[in-house]
Homo-oligomer: A and B are copies of this chain.
């Protein structure tokens, strides 16, 4: 009876919409949830991410997600963890430890910015997953190779990622709110606003109006802070200032 065992497509069912591909039929998992969530963030920013939008992308209802993740906060932590796990780690070279340290901070900063305003969720948790730990371990190793004392290394391990995330946070907010062009116009307008302020009450802002909004764009501003931090840490390693 060949007919019996031959595979047949599911008969159409009334009131049930056809589902796209089989992906929506495979069982839910943390990984699939994080995949869908990241795709939503990449497409529409963090505001587009909701338990409901993730559920919809997976062809189910929001309640189903709670069998796999505790709450939305955990989902955000998993997204951050995923970014951390994808960052490239330099092979330690003691000769170049400061430059390598900077490379790790840049990787974090731009790695976050690659996912719209995901950085907004980056200050909320100490990431303790596998990827974040590998990142931290490497960062410690590189600072150690520069001869920094233990407590400086420990604090530096907090301070540098804090800087990477906070700057990405700020930049991402503006990137979400306006185009690059609009952003440049906005910065220019602030410059004019500063210059037009009453000089008797805000003499220092008026005098510095140009440089306050200038510097070669966000990149240079970011690099300046990075220089200050890494050089500051290095100075501690040489025995204070």
Q: A221 on the interface (CB 8 Å rule)?
A: yes
A208 in contact with B150 (CB, 8 Å): yes
Taking a contact as CB atoms closer than 8 A, the residue among B123, B169, B235 that contacts A173 in the complex is B123
Counting contact residues on chain A (CB < 8 A from B), the size range is 35 or more
Taking a contact as CB atoms closer than 8 A, the residue among B133, B151, B155 that contacts A202 in the complex is B133
Which residues on the B side are within 8 Å of A202 (C-beta)?
Answer: 133-134, 137
Q: How far does the alpha carbon of A169 sit from the alpha carbon of B118 in the complex, in Å?
A: 16
Q: A57 on the interface (CB 8 Å rule)?
A: no
Whole-angstrom distance from the CB of A126 to the nearest CB of chain B?
Answer: 7
Q: A233 on the interface (CB 8 Å rule)?
A: yes
Q: A124 on the interface (CB 8 Å rule)?
A: yes
Q: How far does the alpha carbon of A45 sit from the alpha carbon of B152 in the complex, in Å?
A: 33
A228 in contact with B224 (CB, 8 Å): no
Which chain A residues in 158-209 approach chain B with CB under 8 Å? Answer: 158-159, 162-163, 165-167, 169-170, 173, 190, 193, 197, 201-205, 208
A140 in contact with B231 (CB, 8 Å): no
Whole-angstrom distance from the CB of A172 to the nearest CB of chain B?
Answer: 10
Whole-angstrom distance from the CB of A227 to the nearest CB of chain B?
Answer: 8
Which residues on the B side are within 8 Å of A137 (C-beta)?
Answer: 201-205
B153 in contact with A221 (CB, 8 Å): no
Q: A43 on the interface (CB 8 Å rule)?
A: no
A92: nearest chain-B partner, CB-CB: B204
Taking a contact as CB atoms closer than 8 A, the residue among B157, B212, B228 that contacts A154 in the complex is B212
Q: A236 on the interface (CB 8 Å rule)?
A: yes
Q: A241 on the interface (CB 8 Å rule)?
A: yes
30 contacts between A and B (CB under 8 A): A123-B169, A123-B170, A123-B173, A124-B173, A126-B190, A133-B205, A134-B202, A137-B202, A140-B205, A150-B211, A151-B211, A154-B211, A154-B212, A154-B215, A155-B215, A157-B212, A158-B221, A159-B225, A162-B170, A165-B166, A166-B169, A227-B232, A228-B232, A228-B233, A229-B229, A231-B232, A231-B235, A232-B232, A235-B235, A235-B241
